[in-house]
Amino acid sequence: MGTGSISDLFLKCQKHVLFKLVIAFIFLCCLDFIFGTFVRYFYFRQTSGPEFVTTYSMTKTNADVLIFGSSRANHHYHPEVFEQNLKMSCYNTGRDGLGIAYNYALLKAILGRYIPKIVILDLNSDEFHKSKGNYDKLSVLLPYYHSYPEIRKLVDLKSRFEKFKMLSHIYPYNSTLSYIILGNTKYNQKRRNEINGYVPLMTEWTGSLETVSNYDNYELDPDIILLYEAFIRDCCNAKIKTYIIHSPYYAKINYLDKSIEIGQKIAKKYNVPFYDFSNDTAFLNHPKLFSDLSHLNNEGAIKFSKIVLEDVIH
């Protein structure tokens, strides 16, 4: 066999392999599109659960009063208490484990549709600590990436490759499949018992009161601090009555957390009221108002919501 025949055979094999790779790539793209479209359909059909609250907050709510924050926001502010006293509609957008980056993205999407009258942001101790997890958690916003251009820069903070990963149709839903299944069931509605986004905690704390005296000297994240300031600035520019609140813990805290200190200074810069209830004796003396050390139960949330109305919003 001549060298010409060998080279021809080699070239033929190369073309055959390349053809198979192209076919495999097209097949994978088709699977990605089909499965991604299927999952997306059921994602946006959810009627309960955290993804439903995010979707409703971004696309549908037109409530006069909006509550922002993480789990402490979600479990500490009872919308019906605000509605009954203010004669305004109220929705709790709080979501477990999600901080300023998520909440600012949510705010930007909402302000693209309408302007609420009142915004309350619940700020946690160590809110501004530097952690990769703060950005990894932004994956919950991936299903909205293409529909809301205003949040893309925030979601891209997750990684420099995020915009390329978003070429996939299934990637945005990778971490949500179990939630999607639950969110499409009536069982989940009964289990969570959501009230305008708010999820009541019904258990009572039976442990003792802790005293925290050790200052946690964590590293600050300047980008998260800038997003917090942007949240306040955008609310002020939209002429929204804005309140920053550090809600109760069942622990006597004997130092000023540096995230709270920075949060207070930035709020003062924009003449936005900042209220610190973390050591409020109305709660420290009543463990039955808590579900755990960091979260009020339903009875505590009703009491705290009334205090916010009386002492903060008036």
Tell which CATH architecture fits domain 44-313.
3-Layer(aba) Sandwich (3.40)
pLDDT at 191 over 60: no
Kindly list the domain boundaries of the chain, sorted by start residue.
44-313
At 6, the amino acid letter reads I
Mean pLDDT across the chain:
87
The alpha helices in the chain, defined as continuous H runs, are 3-43, 50-59, 71-76, 79-86, 100-111, 132-136, 152-155, 162-165, 177-183, 186-192, 222-237, 258-269, 281-284, 298-307
* The predicted structure's pLDDT at residue 62: 95
pLDDT at 3 over 60: no
Which has more pLDDT, 248 or 154?
248
At 20, the amino acid letter reads K
Per cent of the chain over pLDDT 90 is 54
Residue 79 CA to residue 116 CA, distance in Å, equals 14
Helix axes 222-237, 100-111, angle to 10 degrees: 30
Helix (H, G, I), strand (E, B) or coil at 122: strand
In order of 5, 7, 9, 20, 147, the CA distances from 2 in angstroms are: 5, 9, 11, 27, 60
* The predicted structure's pLDDT at residue 87: 95
pTM, rounded to two decimals: 0.86
Q: What is the pLDDT of residues 105-143, one digit of tens each?
A: 999 999 999 999 999 999 999 999 998 878 888 888 888
pLDDT at 26 over 90: no
**How many C-beta atoms surround the C-beta of residue 221 within 10 A?**
20
pLDDT at 216 over 80: no
